[in-house]
Structures are given as C-alpha cells and as structure tokens.
C-alpha cells in the first residue's frame, strides 16, 4: 500500500512538473531555464523504472537539440514555433507518463 501511495505521489509530482514547464514556456522564460527543467525531469523519470528510459531518451534529444541551437545565447527565448513544438512534445510526455507507472 505504501509503495502505491509513493508511486501515486511521484506520478502526480511528475505530471505537475510537466504542466509547470508548459506554463513557463508560455510565459516566455529563457531557454537556459527550460533546459535545466528538462534535465531535472529526465533525471526523475529515469529513477522510476526501465520504462522511463525511452521517455528519458526523448527528453535528452530535445535537450541536446535546444542546447546546440542556443548554447551561445541561453538567455534567449524560444520562437513561437519552437515553443509550440516543445509544448506539443511535453503534452505527449504527459500522455505517456501513466504507462511508466
């Protein structure tokens, strides 16, 4: 029973963090901060179990792509197109999240 409660709490926390990241993107937070959040989410998702590795791999690919593009201008903001694409990916991650638990 305790394990189920812990999983439920962890699921709720991960879902909350993903929605929070969407909100940060929508209010135009800088790319450096978005990268930090993606990195933290990746670490947490990989702690869950081996099923989280695929999602973690996708997060790392997004991280690497954004970092390559913005490594010399981390204080910049995502373009509206990039913000929409990233928000779409995060929404997909939210949909995949229950299958990990």
pLDDT at 7 over 80: no
DSSP state of 28: T
Domains delineated in the chain: 2-100 (1.20.120)
Contacts of 22 by beta carbon, 8 Å cutoff, 6+ apart: 87, 90, 91
Which pLDDT belongs to residue 75? Answer: 93
Tens digit of each residue's pLDDT (9 = 90 or more) over 11-65: 888 999 999 999 999 999 999 999 999 999 999 888 887 777 888 899 999 999 9
C-alpha–C-alpha distance, residues 96 and 101, integer Å? 10
Binning pLDDT at 50, 70 and 90, where does residue 99 land?
confident
């Amino acid at each position: 029973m305790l394990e189920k409660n812990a999983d439920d709490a962890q699921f709720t926390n991960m879902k909350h963090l993903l929605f929070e990241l969407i909100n940060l993107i929508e209010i135009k937070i800088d790319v450096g901060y978005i990268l930090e959040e993606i990195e933290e989410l990746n670490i947490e998702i990989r702690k869950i179990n081996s099923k989280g590795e695929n999602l973690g791999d996708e997060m790392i690919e997004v991280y690497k792509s954004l970092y390559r593009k913005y490594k010399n201008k981390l204080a910049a903001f995502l373009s509206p197109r990039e913000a929409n694409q990233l928000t779409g990916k995060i929404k997909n991650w939210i949909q995949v999240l229950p299958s990990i638990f």
